Amino acid sequence: MFKSSSLRAVLVVVGILACGSLLLADNKPWKGKSIQDWDAKDVQQIMTDSPWVRVTTIPRGWLPVAEKDVPPEQQISGGARSVPSAAGGPGPGSGAVSPGTNPNASNRASEESQEQLKVFVDWDSSHIMRAASARNAVLHGMMKDSDVEQYASAPQEEYQLVIYMVDMTPFVKNDEKFFLDKADIETKRGKLKLPPSHIQYDRESNGHLKDVIFFFPKKTASGEPTIAAGETEVTFNCKIEGSRVHVNFDVQKMAGASGLDL
């Protein structure tokens, strides 16, 4: 039988381990906290430093231009995604809910290098990212807290990856179709290379380009899932003006309280 001192020692160890687990969970709001309890810091962590967000740097091989300086015939077309609504919003993605409210906006605004450019790639179709976007809207008084889960859980027919950077010149100068054969995702275990089904340009309320959404089918032509349950890594590639965006998503880490979340 256990002596009382031995039992206490075991309970202390278990308590320490439990506290450690809680601390680790608290560091990951998508696992340790309910959506309603996410504060601005939690939202920022999800939208800037989580498995659903990748950041890379590419050489800037072009001269930055303002959209107003691009001839009308060269300017891109596309609608604007508005604030998330209870029905899921008119836009299919869940990027920044309004100009200046995405926590990554300050990162983009502070970009200083004229030769190197930071590129952000978000896995925007996930429940976690949609919830963070909606919760962000709540914190800015643009959405009711009771509508967050309905927005976050709205079915997404395709995977959505969003790319944005401080200088969107290559996209300003070319339309969506131009990039259809310049982007893809690759699965490591499934060895599947998949081009986007379509691309959508997302604009600010003032008409300026905010980000670009790449849509990828969830099933192959034969009905098989493009990203199988046991997949370990998905790579996103996109050629931009002689440079290549190349980021890896660790699929097994892209999970919330309910499991895999893509």
Q: pLDDT tens-digit profile of 101-130?
A: 455 544 544 444 568 899 999 999 999 999
pLDDT confidence of 248, banded at 50, 70, 90?
very high
State the DSSP H helix or E strand holding residue 152, giving kind and residue range, or none if neither. helix 148-152
- 222 part of a folded domain: yes
| The two three-digit tokens of residue 157, written as one number | 């027919």
Band (236; pLDDT cuts 50, 70, 90): very high
Largest separation between any pair of C-alpha atoms in the chain: 85
Q: What is the pLDDT of residues 34-57, one digit of tens each?
A: 999 999 999 999 999 999 999 999
Domain contains 193? yes
**Based on the number of CB atoms within 10 Å of its own CB, is 212 exposed (0-12), middle (13-18) or buried (19 or more)?**
buried
In a domain, 18, yes or no: no
Indicate whether 241 belongs to any domain.
yes
In degrees rounded to 5, what are phi and psi of residue 18? Answer: -65, -45
Range of the domain at 168: 34-260
User: Residue 234 pLDDT > 60, yes or no?
Assistant: yes
Rounded CA separation 123/161 (Å): 5
Query: Locate tokens 């054969």: which residue?
Result: 181
CA-CA-CA-CA torsion sign (42, 102, 245, 177): positive
4 inside domain: no
**In total, how many domains does the chain have?**
1
